[in-house]
Amino acid sequence: MSTLPETARIPAGAAPVRVAAAPATASTADVPVEAEEVAFDIRNFSMWYGQRQALQEITIKISARKVTAIIGPSGCGKSTFLRSLNRMHDLTPGTRLEGTLRHFGNDLYGPGIDATAVRRRVGMVFQKSNPFPTMSIADNVLVGLRLNGMRDRSVLQERLEQSLRMAALWDEVKDLLNRPGTSLSGGQQQRLCIARSLAVQPDTLLMDEPCSALDPIATAKIEDLIQTLREKYTVVIVTHNMQQAARCSDRTAFFYMGRLIEFDNTRKIFTNPSNPQTEAYVSGRFG
Amino acid sequence: MDASPYLPSPRFARWRRWKSGAITGILVACALAVIAPLFLVIYFLLVRGYSSLDWSFFTQLPKPTGEVGGGMANAIVGTLTLLAMATVVGVPFGVFGGIYLAEYGSDRANDWIRFAADVLNGVPSIVWGMVVYLILVVPFKTFSAYAGGVALGLMMVPLVMRTTEEVLVLVPQSYREAALALGIARWKVIMVIVVRTALKGIGTGVIVALARIAGETAPLLFTALGNNFWNHNLKEPISALPLQIFAYSISPYDDWHRQAWAGALVLMALILALNITVRVLSRDRQSTL
Ligand SMILES: Nc1ncnc2c1ncn2[C@@H]1O[C@H](COP(=O)(O)OP(=O)(O)O)[C@@H](O)[C@H]1O
Ligand SMILES: [Mg+2]
């Protein structure tokens, strides 16, 4: 858990957050603290599916090498938000966005930006594990490197082991590397997908409810894994499970109806939230 | 003891059994009517063709007019050659067209392409023969194996295109997203990951198309023409089973009639083999997709 001092609450910075009747203006304490490197600097970010607005003027700074959890009731825009962080919406016809979204200072939606290059740095793990069905375990891990032109066998071999070790899967599969990826158990498949993402050496990992299809033991393994990942990676994880957010994140953002309601240190969100809606949600009174 | 309220009266139960039996009978009769023609075809081909099917049928060239004996070796090889050439022509256009439809095309463009493909599917096969005759036979002043292969290949295109599209659409979106999220360029995602996932289905579609065209006669009449000898040059006419069957059936000789039946039996066996391959391939389709 974060050891950062809890600082006094200051209204959100430059963001001219529209003050609607309800829900109220996002309350974001002054996280991240000054010294922290910012991975995502997002300002007034709105998104539409056709006519339907799914995100409303989100302003948030997500720190590098921290675990940030996104919580909120179904349909509040968690996945939509996460998928805009690596431009996964590019392929959905009819999507439109406004505002700015910077990743380590670079505008992700700036003119001429190559979404493929963005995704190489910002990886994603999905709700349902999805190893490629025609590929072996090893091929699954290495496909990203291979298709981006890496031919050096020693590098591939090294990256294979390194990625599987980081995903805490090496010991379980080191003798089965040529078996199909789909022959693994659900939890192993999800860790294989994490290894696959790590193999292309991103600096940020997005996870959209990565444990919602897993049993408690497999979930615990993934949560342990997230703890080790935060040393090197910026992790943004969407979760339905409040205990999970409380257990494994440093910061928590509460979304409701397409708005960011509150963003603060996880401990604060779960023990002493500023916003009554956050309080109602984390105490299980709705959602 | 009172009868259970769930127990129908004996009269009603009898009526219901009778009704059920009658419906079952009608359905069985319909099912038989559907498969009976297949058995009739196989029965007649076996009765008429099997006795003429000897070793020389598979190894020898046709005998000159009026002479007894000989075989259809050149026609069998010719049909296989034409099918191979049709595959070379039809598969790339069909598969890439299907990829375009499934992955790239706008809804409007796709509507038009699908409509065109459906119309092409309905073009009478003799029309394909005439068109290719104008394009490849007239300018080069000779009937050729090439022209025959192209005519059959063009017939394959819309068939392969539609099945390719259908199986690509079945590949779950989650694989595309997972691959894109690895920073793989979209065209590579499609060509390597999506197509590979659907490969078995695409292969099945190709074989179905081959089975459809293997017996086509009309498109070959003005293109491959037929040949009583071995074809040593694809720029020259080539024999094919359907052409040979056609030529022999309209001849006045009993021995040729018998050979035509034998040829039909061999052609039917080839098509049946292709269809069985499809069944075997698609049996575990679920595991591929
Ligand atoms: N592809 C889409 N097209 C149209 N609307 C969508 C699409 N994806 C999500 N939405 C809508 O956007 C809202 C937010 O969805 P989502 O981000 O998936 O919510 P969450 O992940 O928090 O459950 C929902 O109301 C949903 O219906
Ligand atoms: Mg979601």
Q: Please name the residue of chain A whose CA is at the shortest distance from the CA of residue B173.
A: A130
- Whether ligand 1 lies within 6 angstroms of the CB of A68 is answered as no
Q: What is the pLDDT of residue A4?
A: 39
Average pLDDT of chain A to the nearest whole number: 89
Is A2's pLDDT higher than 50?
A: no
CA distance B256 to B268: 18
| Interchain contact, A121 vs B183, CB within 8 Å | yes
- Per 3-state DSSP, chain A is made up of helix, strand and coil in percentages (nearest 5) of 35, 25, 40
d(CA B236, CA B136): 12
For the stretch B202-221, pLDDT in tens is 999 999 999 999 999 999 99
Nearest-atom index, ligand 1, CA of A74: 23
Instruction: Calculate mean pLDDT across residues B264-270.
Output: 96
pLDDT at A130: 94
| Smallest CA–CA distance from B286 into chain A, residue | A133
Model confidence at B45: pLDDT above 70: yes
d(CA B237, CA B119): 29
pLDDT digits (tens, 9 = 90+) for A63-87: 999 999 999 999 999 999 999 999 9
Are the Cβ atoms of A148 and B183 closer than 8 angstroms?
yes
Cα separation of A233 and A66, whole Å?
7
Q: How far is the CA of A77 from the centre of ligand 2 (A)?
A: 7
Chain A hits for B193, Cβ within 8 Å: 132, 143
CA-proximal residue: ligand 1, atom 6 (nearest): A49
Contact across the interface for B182 and A120, Cβ inside 8 Å:
yes
pLDDT at residue number B246: 95
State which residue of chain B sits closest to A207, comparing Cα positions.
B181
Is-contact A215 A187, C-beta < 8 A?
yes
Q: In this complex, do B182 and A144 lie within 8 Å of one another by their Cβ atoms?
A: yes
Cis before A23? omega within 30: yes
- Pair A140, A188: CB distance under 8 Å: no
Residue B76 belongs to some domain of the structure: yes
Residue A207 lies in a domain: yes
Is A287 a member of any domain? no
Inter-residue contact B82 to B215 (CB < 8 Å): no
Cα angle value B260/B265/B267 (rounded, 5°): 90
Q: What pLDDT band is residue B34 in, cutting at 50, 70 and 90?
A: very high
pLDDT score of B32 more than 70: yes
For residue B285, pLDDT over 80 is answered with: no
Residue B88 CB: number of other CB atoms within 10 A?
12
* Mean pLDDT calculated for residue range B144-154: 97
Query: B181, A117: Cβ pair inside 8 Å?
Result: no
ipTM of the complex: 0.86
Decide if A186 is inside a domain. yes
**pLDDT confidence of A24, banded at 50, 70, 90?**
very low
Query: pLDDT-based confidence at A191, cuts 50/70/90?
Result: very high
User: Domain of A189?
Assistant: 4-282
Domain housing B279: 55-288
CATH number of B168's domain: 1.10.3720.10
| Residue A97, helix vs strand vs coil | strand
pLDDT tens, residue by residue, A247-257 = 999 999 999 99
How many domains is chain A partitioned into structurally? 1
User: Quick one: closest CA in B to A131, which residue?
Assistant: B175
With an 8 Å Cβ cutoff, the interface of chain A facing chain B consists of 86, 88, 91, 116-121, 123-124, 126, 128, 130, 132-134, 143-144, 147-148, 193, 196-197, 200, 202
Looking at residues B101-128, what average pLDDT do you find? 93
pLDDT tens profile B166-193: 999 999 999 999 999 999 999 999 999 9
CA dist., res. A17 & res. A59, Å (int)? 8
- B269 C-alpha to ligand 1 centroid (Å): 54
- What is the tally of structural domains in chain B? 1
Q: What's the whole-model pTM score?
A: 0.84
Indicate whether B41 belongs to any domain: no
- B280 pLDDT more than 50: yes
Residues of A in contact with B179 (CB under 8 A): 132, 143
Mean pLDDT of B71-82: 96
Residue B1: inside a domain, yes or no?
no
> Is residue B3 scored above 80 in pLDDT?
no
Any atom of ligand 1 within 6 Å of the Cβ of A75 = yes
Confidence of residue A26 (pLDDT cuts 50, 70, 90): low
Residues whose CB is less than 8 angstroms from the CB of residue A232 and which lie 6 or more positions away in sequence, other chains included: A65
- pLDDT at residue A287 tops 70: no
What is residue A63's three-state secondary structure? strand
The verdict on residue B169 lying in a domain is yes
Give the mean pLDDT of B57-81. 92
Answer yes or no: is the C-beta of A74 below 6 A from any ligand 1 atom. yes
Q: In terms of DSSP H, where are the helices of chain B?
A: 10-49, 55-59, 73-99, 107-122, 125-132, 145-170, 173-181, 186-188, 195-197, 199-214, 218-221, 241-249, 254-283, 285-288
B281 lies in some domain = yes
pLDDT category at A36 given cuts 50, 70, 90 is: confident
Does position A34 have pLDDT exceeding 90, yes or no? Answer: no
Q: Indicate whether B15 belongs to any domain.
A: no
Asked, for residue B257, whether it belongs to a domain, the answer is yes
The residue with greater pLDDT, A91 or A205, is A205
Q: Is residue A175 part of a domain?
A: yes
Phi, psi (deg, nearest 5) at residue A246: -65, -40
Q: Which of A136, A143, A163, A193 to mutate to test the interface with B (most CBs of B within 10 A)?
A: A143
Report the CATH number that the domain containing residue A216 is assigned in CATH: 3.40.50.300
CB contact under 8 A, B181 and A147: no
Q: What is the pLDDT of residue B68?
A: 85
> Counting atoms of ligand 1 from 1, which one is nearest the CA of A80?
17
Least confident of A273-287, B167-181, B239-253: A273-287
Determine the pLDDT at residue B67: 84
DSSP state of B10: H
